[in-house]
Copies of this chain bind each other. A is one copy, B any other.
Amino acid sequence: MSNAPGPAAPSGPSDEEIAALDAHWRAANYLAVGQIYLMDNPLLTRPLAREDIKPRLLGHWGTSPGLNLVYTHLNRVIRSRGVQGLCVWGPGHGGPAVLANSWLEGSYSETYPDVGRDAEGMGLLFKQFSFPGGVPSHVAPETPGSIHEGGELGYALTHAYGAALDHPELLVACVIGDGEAETGPLAASWHSNKFLDPVHDGAVLPVLHLNGYKIANPTVLARLPETELDALLRGYGHDPLYVGGDDPIGVHRAMVAAMDRAVDRIRELQAAARTGGDTGRPHWPMIVLRTPKGWTGPLEVDGVPVEGTWRAHQVPLPGVRDNEDHLRQLEEWMRSYRPEELFDASGRPGPQVLSCVPEGDARLGSTPYANGGLLLRDLPIPPLDDHAVEVGKPGTVLHEPTRVLGGLLEAVMAATAERRDFRVVGPDETASNRLDALYGATAKAWQERILPTDEHLARDGRVMEVLSEHLCQGWLEGYLLTGRHGLFSCYEAFAHIVDSMVNQHIKWLRTSRRLVWRRPIASLNYLLTSHVWRQDHNGFSHQDPGFVDHILNKSPEVVRVYLPPDANTLLSVADHALRSRDYVNVIVAGKQPSFDWLTLDQARAHCARGAGVWEWAGTEDGSREPDVVLACAGDVPTLETLAAADLLRRHLPELAVRVVNVVDVARLLPREEHPHGMPDSEYDAVFTRNTPVIFAYHGYPWLIHRLAYRRAGHAQLHVRGYKEEGTTTTPFDMVVRNDLDRYRLVMDVIDRVPGLGVRAVAVRQAMADVRTRHHAWIREHGTDLPEVADWTWSG
């Protein structure tokens, strides 16, 4: 919202204003019930009959009246107070409520012209809900005005904060159900206010909706003694405003007062920070709304209480199709909203209902903030040449790839200093992951006290560090969904913490891509580093390469996985990812010093192909198929593969070895399974149809089989990778433990290439001897064999 004071709050709402708000709320409630039950007779122009009722009753009534109340009152402040608003509906199961409101305000019909704002459209709105070929029961990508699915609970408040960052004009309301409030991610999210800059960011207004129950149980927060709840919310840094009751008019009056107070207070706090130079962390207002679950629904059904209990959670009258009493009760319930006062004969909402509704893009269902692609600008990425490393002879000079990337990210951060539409998030690992060059262009966001010994902390920093992968993920999702760019840098093993969150984001993107009105947003980019092979001191708990497997189970339209083998390939891949749209890009790259293999131009060409032969590394002469293909994906496997190629060149020079490096693992998939999949002809040209392939892979070896099982050469494919043999040890010992080391790869070649003769037997024994020597050496010295530590490419 603007930091100008804006129109002052009126002294109190008139009876007319309250009546109008109530009319809007009743209309929304009516429409929510209609969606759950009706497939015909939307305006109740005749008595409800069995045929009007859907055959399968699906939906969540319990949370809907509360969401309708919040939507109604947000409409009021948006319209009357000049607020720029967006709302995150945490209780996404209350799809009928949000759909009802966007239909009332006209956004729905503008988005879906076949569902008009009239009786016929109302009939379609009702029938399509939770109906095959219709719309989902939850708030979803299909829902105008939403950036948040809400099917999986826990992420509402992080999404709201992500949306508010770098949108100083915006007020993001966020309805938090008391069920969702029990989840870990939501519980952690309250502290997001320690990262929200009152100068450069917008405001978040949490509305904690205590309707008392989740599916089958009371909720923890709703049953807390009031003093304890108040202490908790103040402990979270908020200044709570309480609204509650079951008398609609009283609740409307209290809600008007609380909303006005919240808007006033937010404007005061922002003005103080923006003009007065007061940079302390404000105690932001929030609203606690305590109303009955399933409010205004059936009080009792079949003799047991429903309104105000967990029984109101889903469909309060389940038997309407077969039970005359239920059917009559449903009709009474719907008529209790007095639809004849709310809609005209043609089904259009009347002027009283619409009097609180804002206009145009200010409507919650039409705001461009909820369709972030409308706001998105291309990211100014400087030329990679300024950041690339010089590569003369491959495999002789070491760089830390993520440190090189840090330089590029710093330049992007600097180029967006005014625009403020790029952020890097990470769970306290940005420096550990060698991206600290970023602090040359920005700081880490921090609104608490800053001590003289602190470094790189500032109110307006655009690096976000908190020890919660959930918050990092949620903030970034909210930021991207509202039209900005970003990167999440994370220890590889702990990306699993957000497995379920990224599932939902991928599902969101998969569905959004099929909706023409949803404009493409920037991709969600992961940099997974501090990876499985280099967790030297953290050991087994930090060793897990399975996030890639998880991602590759998901919609191929959306998921992309890259394993750049060195610094320049990492630059090229990151550049591509940062420019892309509507993807989830997973980049796995090490932070430890590792060899450079390709110049920037070579890297660009190699990354564009995604997988290809490294001619310089092999010993083919082109006259025939190679005797063996050494394939690799990932930085450590590439090192071991090149070292194995080196050993083969020296010990078995007559062997024709081809070296293949894979950056984009989806290239191994058949083309019909993934848009990046190679045609069989290309696969066969690279990997051959009959030659043994020894594939050194970064993660679980069976992933490669799962990708390539349909290929002609699959029976000759032998994959080495991580097989859960981890501990605290040296880098080379890790590859030995998992049979991915250079000596083992050479042994694999000798075991699989037929007809190598007696010389090869001796070489195989020599390799086995080095491995034995390794085991003894490392236990005595605690370091790797000198011949491993000092190895460079000699080809």
Contact = CB atoms under 8 A, between A and B. Distances in A.
A688 B350 CA distance: 70
B705 A709 contact: yes
Contacts of A624: none
A714 B709 contact: yes
A449 B221 CA distance: 11
A782 B56 CA distance: 8
Interface stretch (A64-72, A182-190, A757-765): A182-190
A180 B467 contact: yes
Contacts of A510: 724
A215 B448 contact: no
A592 to B, nearest CB: 13
A333 interface: no
Contact of A56 (B54, B432, B730): B730
Interface in A630-676: none
Interface in A192-215: 194, 214-215
A511 B494 contact: no
Contact of A132 (B451, B555, B782): B782
Nearest to A737: B132
A50 interface: no
A546 interface: yes
A779 interface: yes
Contacts of A430: 216
Contact of A187 (B92, B188, B451, B454): B188
A133 B778 contact: yes
A471 interface: yes
Given A131-B728, A132-B728, A228-B234, 11 more contacts: A56-B730, A133-B778, A184-B184, A184-B186, A184-B471, A186-B188, A187-B190, A187-B191, A216-B428, A496-B503, A553-B700
Q: Which of A214, A217, A465 has the most CB of B within 10 A?
A: A217
Which 6 pairs of residues, A with B, have the shortest CB-CB distance? Answer: A232-B235, A151-B541, A184-B184, A58-B537, A223-B448, A187-B187
A162 B185 CA distance: 20
A137 B538 contact: yes
Contacts of A219: 467
A296 B58 CA distance: 63
Contacts of A539: 136-138, 140, 151
B39 A448 contact: no
A136 B728 contact: yes
Given A217-B465, A541-B151, A730-B132, A188 B180 contact: no
A536 B58 contact: yes
Given A56-B536, A194-B220, A504-B541, A467 B182 contact: yes
A242 interface: no
Interface of A: 39, 54-56, 58-59, 92-93, 130-138, 140, 149-154, 179-180, 182-191, 194, 214-220, 223-224, 228-237, 305, 308-309, 314, 428-432, 444, 446, 448-449, 451, 453-454, 457, 465-468, 470-471, 493-494, 496-497, 499-500, 503-504, 507, 510-511, 536-542, 544, 546, 549-550, 553-555, 700, 702-703, 705-706, 709, 714, 724, 726-730, 733, 778-779, 781-783
Contact of A500 (B39, B496, B511): B496
Contacts of A700: 553
A554 B507 CA distance: 26
Contacts of A431: 215-216
A232 to B, nearest CB: 3
Contacts of A549: 549-550, 553
Nearest to A783: B55
Contacts of A54: 782
A161 to B, nearest CB: 14
A705 B217 CA distance: 42
Nearest to A283: B228
Nearest to A673: B702
A778 B191 CA distance: 47
Nearest to A237: B228
A494 B220 contact: no
B231 A779 contact: no
Contacts of A538: 93, 137-138, 151
Nearest to A774: B132
A184 B182 contact: no
Contact of A229 (B215, B235, B536, B729): B235
Nearest to A454: B218
A189 B187 CA distance: 9
A191 B215 contact: no
Contacts of A150: 541
Contacts of A228: 234-235, 237
Contact of A188 (B182, B191, B724): B182
A550 B499 contact: yes
A158 to B, nearest CB: 9
Contacts of A152: 493-494, 497, 541-542
